Structure 1
Amino acid sequence: MTPMVRSAALAGYIDLTLSLDVDPMLLLRSVGIATATLTATDAWLPAARVDRLLERTAHETNCEDFGLRLASRRGLTNLGPVALVAREEPDVRSAVNVVLRYISLHNEALRTRMIQIGALTTIHIQAAPATPLGRQSIELTVGVMCRILRELRGPGWDPLSVSFRHNEPSQRGSGCQILGSAVEFEQSFDGIFCYSHDLEASNPFADPLLRPYAREYLRSLAPSGESVAEQARAIIETLLPTQQCSAATVAARLGMDRRTLHRRLARSGETFTTLLNATRLDLAHRCLTRHDRTLSDIAAELGFSELSAFSRWFRRHAGQSPSRIRAGQQPRSDPLDPAAADCTRRRSVMFHWT
């Protein structure tokens, strides 16, 4: 199934593009998005087309921080029904948890996770399996999350740092201000670092009387939520670089013991090993398309202590060596994806911004 995203993800796109002296209508048509869909916030668009639109617009406007500038025009209210529930949660952590848990109601191409390790909490943003997302989509999402956190914590709040997998931009645009003062590039994940105690603050918008009604409404929209396999896969992705990705650790993160995890995975025809290998293979292919990462870096990100171990594993599961896969990579093509029918169903460099 083609991942979809609500047209609300492009709120402010036309005005921003016009302000940069480029015709947004031409760009929309070039990727097969009808202008009329931008006026209906509940319309669904293929995520690949939206991603391509953002990348193309950044290029045509010569604006590397286009996604961040778009994020600066967003807030919690742009998440529709998810925002209704998040606003009624008692504290910032629970509000953010709602946003992360139900993000698929707004964007099916994203997987998100919040991980607390002592005094630090990280919010991970990543693409869904087999759904490559460009720089602009990732920066838009991370930027919006910074805006939401600042909305809940107050205008003076900043994250400890923001982390990106992709490389440093050639220019520091004005849109980068929403990320705070410390931004790291060429990191192992895309997301946000903050103090855990920042998330314990009370939610200034919450109304305890409305909370149960809001939660029930959201459950009616997404009664099943993520499967255990989907949740486990997301946790595996965040644990791989730590070389501590065991079944017991993943099970503990899910609030269950190892046997229960194996039993739950078996119901969906999975084992922990098959899920681990599938997740690694998907990440490996994703990393190999990016020529700014060495094979040793990729091996470390996937939890291998040595490049040779990664190479043997990759050859066994992919049938080719990682270097051969990388050598065969071609520039990303830009065809119009055949997803029109689905429309109807709804990355160390660090510097401080000055």
Structure 2
Amino acid sequence: MAKPLARYAALTGYIELGRMLHMNPAELLRSVGLDPAGIALQDQWVPATAIARVLELSAAASGHEDFALKLAEHRRLSTLGPLSVSIREEPDARSALGMLIRYQHMYNEALYIRMTERDGLSAIQISIDPGEPIPIRQSIELAVTVVHQLLRNLLGDRWNPVSVCFEHRRPADDATHRRMFGAALSFDHDFSGIVTYTRDLDEPNRLSDPGLRSYAKQFLDTISAPEQPTLEGRVRELIELLLPTGRCSIDQVARSLGVDRRTLHRHLTKSGQTFTSVLDATRAELANRMVSGSRYSFIEISEMLAFSTPASFTRWFNRQFGVSPRQWRKRTAATAAAALELDTDVSRNGQNRVPKG
């Protein structure tokens, strides 16, 4: 069974916070197999284990047990991606929270939220299952804070939960927790999450515009039933993620997916693929994009695509595209220049045309 994935958006603000806390955030990301440049691609999916690991490493490196809470302060509702459009327009906090729970797979496959109600209180229980037994304290604190922020956005600053609970121990300094949650804190609890008055969840969503609700529903319908990611698709994503680290092998990809090498090979064979064919196709797509532009030198591209030498990259590129990388870049630049010249001529002719009448 493949290990769960999460969107890069989970690390929104990570680079900025890392620098503020005098860490080397790029180095920490690379240490868990994440590409620092990938954070800008918020909708890209990466192994949830890598995100959990980098959060724990960052808390240790910075000396801040409240690292996840500080990271959450960089988040906005839009960090939830397309789902935020519909959540914003739900009529009350209960339906907004219900939508968050119903579509949680759209932003984090390792996150599980459920809600129970009893005696006028609602318990929002939050758990994380990254697919292997690793520390998840920071991931839990991030998730709890995100749900708390969502309810605060919907209900306003006057709302406060009855209590905020964590299964792990109390930190040596809980000042940030007390400041952010403004409620009774319970550590070493039997679940992690938020307890609030049930009646608060029925309060109107102050962000909602009833006139936009039907449009938000139509938008959600277009994105809420995506096809389940195929194994080949996940292999492609992991290859793209691992290539710049120099650790892109079938064994590493299999471990990231939570299967062994033989199982991965068997599944790819069923779809008429091999690891090498998927690797070459992914490399070709990346090479086409990088060589067509001028941002990277050919030496940088060969390193980012994990070739041993620039010469081996050039030979591979020739086999794939029938020309050298240099020829490909010149051809692409010439095509772009010709298109620009044509657009300019059309625009000039349109401006010089004298209207009849």
Q: TM-score range with shorter-chain normalisation?
A: 0.5 to 0.7
Say whether the 8 Å CA contact 2:4–2:131 is kept in structure 1. no
Q: CA deviation at 1:202?
A: 0.6
Contact kept? 1:92, 1:203, Cα under 8 Å = yes
1:154-209 superposed Cα distances (whole Å, 9 cap, x missing partner) = 12321110111111112224355222231101111110000011111111121223
Residue in 1 that maps onto 2:187: 185
Which of 155, 158, 161 does residue 157 from structure 2 map onto?
A: 155
In structure 2, the residue matched to 1:233 is none
1:43 matched residue in structure 2: 44
> Identity of aligned pairs, percent?
40
Change (3 A) 1:96 1:22: same
Inter-partner Cα distance in structure 2 for 1:175 and 1:13 = 19
Deviation per CA, 1:27-58: give whole Å up to 9, x if none: 01111100111011111111000000000000
Judged with a 3 Å threshold, the aligned counterparts in structure 2 of structure 1 residues 42 and 190 are, in CA distance, closer, same or farther, namely: same
- 1 CA distance for matches of 2:157 and 2:70? 17
- SS of alignment partner, residue 174 of structure 1: helix
8 A Cα contact 1:153 1:201, kept in partner:
yes
1:34 aligns with 2:31: no
Q: What letter corresponds to residue 69 of structure 1 in structure 2?
A: K
SS in 2 for 1:73: coil
Residue 75 of structure 1: CA displacement? 3.0
Does residue 96 of structure 1 match 2:13?
A: no
Q: Give the CA deviation at 1:129.
A: 7.9
- Amino acid across the alignment from 1:102: Y
Structure 2: distance between partners of 1:8 and 1:38: 7
Task: Say yes or no: does 1:217 pair with 2:224.
Answer: no
In structure 1, runs of 5+ residues without a counterpart are 227-334, 345-354
CA contact (8 A) 1:93 1:199 kept: yes
Are the equivalent residues in 2 in contact too, given 1:124–1:191 (CA < 8 A)? yes
1:197 is the counterpart of 2:199: yes
1:43-192 matched pairs, under 5 angstroms: 43-128=44-129, 130-132=131-133, 134-174=136-176, 176-192=178-194
Is this contact kept in 1: 2:165–2:193, CA < 8 A? yes
Tell me if structure 1 keeps the 8 A contact 2:164–2:186: yes
> CA offsets, 1:46-73, max 9 Å, x none?
1000000000000000100101111122
Q: Find the aligned partners of 1:220 and 1:42 in 2 and give their Cα distance.
A: 16
**Do the aligned residues in 2 keep the contact of 1:69 with 1:175 (CA within 8 Å)?**
no
Between Structure 1 and Structure 2, how many residues are aligned? 235
Cα distance in 2 for partners of 1:39, 1:149 equals 26
Equivalent-residue separation in structure 2 for 1:19 and 1:128 (angstroms) = 29
Letter in 1 for 2:89: E
The secondary structure found in structure 1 opposite 2:193 is strand
Distance between the aligned counterparts of 2:227 and 2:211, measured in 1? 24
**1:131 shift after superposition:** 4.9
State the 1:336 CA deviation: 9.7
Matching residue's letter, 1:106: Y
* In structure 2, distance between residues paired with 1:206 and 1:178: 24
Q: State whether residues 68 and 176 of structure 1, in contact with CA within 8 Å, keep that contact through their aligned partners in structure 2.
A: no
Quick one: distance in 2 between partners of 1:167 and 1:89? Answer: 35
Q: Helix, strand or coil for the counterpart of 2:53?
A: helix
Deviations, residues 305-334 of structure 1 (Å, cap 9, x unaligned): xxxxxxxxxxxxxxxxxxxxxxxxxxxxxx
CA separation in 2, counterparts of 1:175 and 1:40? Answer: 29
Aligned residue in 2 for 1:297: none
Match for residue 339 of structure 1?
256
Q: Are the structure 2 counterparts of residues 337 and 37 from structure 1 closer, same or farther at C-alpha, using a change threshold of 3 Å?
A: farther
2:14 alignment partner in structure 1: 13
Structure (1/2) with the larger helix percentage = 2
Distance in 2 (alpha carbons) for counterparts of 1:81 and 1:131: 29
Largest Rg, 1 or 2:
2
Distance 1:105 1:50, change over 3 A: same
Provide, for residues 225-259 of structure 1, a one-character-per-residue CA deviation record: whole Å limited to 9, x for no partner: 99xxxxxxxxxxxxxxxxxxxxxxxxxxxxxxxxx
SS at match of 1:126: strand
Distance 2:38 2:181 in 1: 29
